[in-house]
Chain A
Amino acid sequence: MDPQKEEPLWEVFIRSRQGLEHKHAGSLHAADAQMAIENARDVYTRRMEGVSIWVVESKYIHSTNPDEAESFFEPANDKIYRHPTFYDLPDELKYM
């Protein structure tokens, strides 16, 4: 039982009452998940009822490297056949 010297960092995602997805709201420090959720409520929501909060320790989030964004994403734009707008639809199709 050796506690870390500092509270870990958590990323907070919140879905508002009318929302469909959780959006990244920010980050905070907390000793455990329970505390992280309470802190998230205090820091990022306050009076918003009916919201859903997700917290994830930052160390568990893996992301793309912004410097590599070009090589990682651009080629997809070149492959025009991957975009639905590439295809011509016959005129008879009315409801696409």
Chain B
Amino acid sequence: MAQDALNRWWWPSLMMFGPNDEQSPHSVQSMKWKIKRFTNDELRQKFVDVCKEQADILGITIPDPDLKWNKEREHYDFGEINWGEFWNVIKGNGPCNKERLAARVKAHEDGAWVREASLVYAAKHKNKTSDKEVILETV
């Protein structure tokens, strides 16, 4: 089961770190503003190194034939990510994305009457609340 899961999720996990640094338009500004401390590629490399070690200990194999220790860099070299798939996913072309957005839209539309009720109630009672302190326990 664990090997199955790794086979299925390894590449999507690497994709989660985002595009390569050259193609990451916001990274420069984010790092200038100090809200991002490491680049996408730096984090991705760290992730690969850490996971390879753990996979070895657990006795499972990372599904990348190009995964190899590089003595000079002192890091693992790894295979190329399927960038076509990556850009499709983040542009929202995947089936899960459609489903997820549909669910959020439905929740929002179905909830319209609830939000409306709370606004009407608030307006009705606006003049009644003179006390600025709200009491949380009133039972």
User: A interface vs B, CB < 8 Å?
Assistant: 1-4, 6-7, 30-35, 37-38, 41
Contacts and interface: CB of A to CB of B under 8 A. Distances in A.
Given A3-B122, A6-B115, A32-B125, 19 more contacts: A1-B124, A2-B123, A3-B116, A4-B119, A7-B115, A7-B118, A7-B119, A30-B118, A31-B118, A31-B121, A32-B118, A32-B129, A33-B134, A34-B129, A35-B118, A35-B122, A37-B134, A37-B136, A38-B136
A34 B122 CA distance: 9
Interface string B57-69: 0000000000000
Contacts of B91: none
B120 interface: yes
Given A1-B123, A2-B123, A41-B136, A33 B129 contact: yes
A7 B114 CA distance: 11
A14 to B, nearest CB: 14
B126 interface: yes
- Pick the most buried of B122, B124, B132, B136: most chain A CB atoms within 10 A of its CB: B122
A52 to B, nearest CB: 10
Given A32-B126, A33-B129, A3 B119 contact: yes
Interface residues of B, number: 15
A83 to B, nearest CB: 27
B108 to A, nearest CB: 12
A38 B126 CA distance: 17
A38 B129 CA distance: 16
- Pick the most buried of B116, B118, B126, B132: most chain A CB atoms within 10 A of its CB: B118
A79 B25 CA distance: 41
A3 B136 contact: no
Please list the 4 inter-chain residue pairs (A to B) with the smallest Cβ-Cβ separation, ordered nearest first.
A32-B122, A31-B122, A31-B118, A3-B119
Nearest to B126: A32
